[in-house]
Amino acid sequence: MRFQRIIQTLSLATFLGLLLYAAHPYPDGLVTDFFLRLDPLIAVGTMVTVRGVLTDLLPAVVVILCALLVGRIFCGHICPMGTTIDLGESVLLSRKKAPSKASSYEATSRYRPLKYLLLAIILGAATLSVSLVYLASPISLITRLYGLSLYGAACLGADAALEAVAPLLSALGLRELAYLQVPQRAFAANLFVVALFAGILLAALVQPRFWCRNLCPAGAILAIFSRRPLIRRHVGESCTACRRCIRECPTGAIGDDPCTTVHSECIVCLRCQEICPENAISFFGARTGEKNLKPENPGRRAVVIAAGTGLLAGAMVRTGFGNTRRGNREHSYTGPTLIRPPGTMPEADFLSLCVRCGECVKACPTNTLQPVWLEAGLDGIFTPKLHTRWAACAVQCHACGEVCPTNAIRRLPLVEKNHAKIGTAWIVRQNCLVWEQDKKCLVCDEVCPYNAVSFQAVPDHKNAVPFVVENRCIGCGWCESKCPVQGSAAIRVNVIGEIRLASGSYRERAKEFGLVFRTKDNRIDKLAPGTFDNQSVSPAPKQDTGRPAEEKPNGGLPPGFIAE
């Protein structure tokens, strides 16, 4: 196998391995979002957006500086998007290459400036603190593809495979494996993620690696820094102008005169060097009589227009419904069911930081985190929300904060996370079996990890009815997810009372607000016990059920006993 392919394979495998480990319990010592931290667009775009240096994103600066030495080597070797496109093309495209006339840089330069313009638009919007990074960040796009779409499908496939090989496993004495459970995951908006990637891949029918050549703004940043890298293509005098390298170049970086190169388009895959029958091409060694080709640059006018478009887009987003902030209104509007993960930054800051990579959604062990499609507006696409009817937030887990590359969800210790109120449950009496039909049902109380549902006797009801004790409710959604009525639950979480702190302690703020979050059973939610520090939270006030003991049904005994 060629060197480039070996590195690409290792890189993609590492990327997928890290993505797999982006889960609860979070593996200490692993940086599962490492590839996202390498993305030049995420780093530059986000730092401009928030006007500050984010130390977690400094690896991308190293990638950019590497471009000064070896050009766009990241694109050809490390980038999982590039590797995935290569893989896709090997299936999609015929092995027969286009003729050299049609493959040269000059013949394919038409769309090249688009990537710079896209970068200008994103940076234009970033100056107004609006992040459009997610639209075109290659690592964000590819993390979404694998984490939100292909992961769910892979889980389904693994389960089917286990079923198929179960007799074989038993025969081999591996009965334990036959019982293995693969978590089954469902993701909202997964088809849209796939559709976006399909568009990127299909563009290869126009030109190979169409995305990398013409559209990728991260590639554009690297291109700017690799005009004349230290290690670059050089053609010696033995060249017979057979033009084979022009046809083989995956990014069309070689000019019509095969001795010329556009280094900012070269991904240093070394293919030309390997196939040259005269061994005329080298990337190291002496350079004599070097002929460089001037890359196709966007006109100054076009760049100004693009940056202006970005500014305008930023202004539109800022005056849109979801992203209002200082200078417009005191707080942003969030939909009543747009429940963000615990520890999420205030909405406007969150939208500036979130690159929509979907790592938090992939990592969520209960599958409650889901990417939103249009619920948060056009500028909120693919941001995470809790779908509390589908599943609940686990008490012992804060994987979403651990995996976030930009700290749009703060990396909080568990005790802090378990004071970050994300909403409040309220009872919809028309849907409730007890309130509406006077049936006996205690499910919301039984599953509430925080003892925030209280059943009380009311006139005209044979059975005690549920009330939410709002200063004990953290908004985790166990009640809503387990409510036995079909369709919409009779108890639903709303953003009422959510707390978002850009800095400082959630525990102290909760105390200030008189909130008492104390789990009644630290194993309630099927996740690891012992990690929630009960000692460090304020004690719950003595519970008053409002019902004298003698009124308890069945003399206070479980209904399974016949009291005599």
Partner 1 sequence: MELRKDRREFLKKGLLGTAALLTGASSFSLFDTEAWAENYPDMAIARGNDPAAITRSAVNALGGIKRFVKPGNRVVIKPNMSFGSKPGEGSNTNPQVVAEVARLCHEAGAVGVSVLDNVLHSPEDCLSMSGIPAACRKVPNTVVANVAARRLFSSVKVPHAREVSSMEVIKDVLEADVLIAVPVGKSHSSSGVSLSMKGMMGLIYDRGSFHTRYDLHNAIVDMVSLLKPHLVVIDGTRILSTGGPGGPGKVIPLNLVIASADMVAADAQMVALGTWYGRKFKPDQVRHIRIAAARKLGRSDLENLKVVNVSA
Which residues make up the interface to partner 1 (CB under 8 A)?
159-160, 162-163, 166, 175-176, 179-182, 441, 443, 484, 521, 523, 526-529, 556-564
**Minimum separation from the CB atom of position 152 to partner 1 (A):** 16
Cβ neighbours, 10 Å, residue 431: 17
Cβ neighbours, 10 Å, residue 1: 7
Of 487 and 559, the one with the shorter C-beta distance to partner 1 is 559
Which residue is it, tokens 């198929």?
164
**Minimum separation from the CB atom of position 254 to partner 1 (A):** 53
**Minimum separation from the CB atom of position 181 to partner 1 (A):** 4
Q: ∠504-509-513 over CA atoms, to 5°?
A: 165
Evaluate the omega torsion of the peptide bond into residue 217 and state whether it is cis, within 30 degrees of 0: no
Query: How far separated are the first and last CA of the chain, in Å rounded?
Result: 81
Of 86 and 525, the one with the shorter C-beta distance to partner 1 is 525
Q: Which residues pair with 468 in a beta bridge?
A: 453
**Max CA distance (Å), the chain:** 106
Q: Parallel, antiparallel, or unpaired for β 291-292 and 369-371?
A: unpaired
Whole-number Å distance between alpha carbons of 223 and 541: 62
Of 65 and 174, the one with the shorter C-beta distance to partner 1 is 174
Which phi and psi (to 5°) does residue 473 adopt? -85, 125
**Minimum separation from the CB atom of position 526 to partner 1 (A):** 5
Of 91 and 549, the one with the shorter C-beta distance to partner 1 is 549
Of 216 and 441, the one with the shorter C-beta distance to partner 1 is 441
In sequence order, what DSSP letters do the residues of 330-354 get, joined into one string?
SS----TT--PPTTBPPHHHHHHH-
- Please give the torsion angle defined by the CA atoms of residues 532, 533, 539 and 541, in that order, rounded to the nearest 10 degrees: 10
Of 184 and 238, the one with the shorter C-beta distance to partner 1 is 184
Of 297 and 534, the one with the shorter C-beta distance to partner 1 is 534
**Minimum separation from the CB atom of position 562 to partner 1 (A):** 5
Of 107 and 485, the one with the shorter C-beta distance to partner 1 is 485
In sequence order, what DSSP letters do the residues of 140-196 get, joined into one string?
HHHHHIIIIIIHHHHHHHHHHHHHHHHHHHHHTT-HHHHT--PPP---TTHHHHHHH
Of 237 and 561, the one with the shorter C-beta distance to partner 1 is 561
**Minimum separation from the CB atom of position 480 to partner 1 (A):** 15
Q: Provide the residue count of the chain.
A: 564
Of 242 and 433, the one with the shorter C-beta distance to partner 1 is 433
Q: Parallel, antiparallel, or unpaired for β 465-468 and 453-456?
A: antiparallel
**Minimum separation from the CB atom of position 524 to partner 1 (A):** 9
**Minimum separation from the CB atom of position 525 to partner 1 (A):** 9
Which phi and psi (to 5°) does residue 9 adopt? -65, -45
Give the distance, in angstroms, between the CA of residue 213 and the centroid of all CA atoms in the same chain: 24
**Sequence-distant (≥ 6) Cβ neighbours of residue 488 within 8 angstroms:** 389, 428, 431
**Minimum separation from the CB atom of position 419 to partner 1 (A):** 23
Measured CA to CA in angstroms, residue 34 lies from 85, 263, 525 at distances of 20, 27, 30
**Minimum separation from the CB atom of position 507 to partner 1 (A):** 25
Of 529 and 546, the one with the shorter C-beta distance to partner 1 is 529
Whole-number Å distance between alpha carbons of 346 and 409: 10
Whole-number Å distance between alpha carbons of 61 and 468: 50
**Minimum separation from the CB atom of position 281 to partner 1 (A):** 55
**Minimum separation from the CB atom of position 417 to partner 1 (A):** 18
Q: Contact 42/406 with Cβ under 8 angstroms? A: yes
Whole-number Å distance between alpha carbons of 455 and 463: 9
Whole-number Å distance between alpha carbons of 379 and 313: 10
Of 353 and 443, the one with the shorter C-beta distance to partner 1 is 443
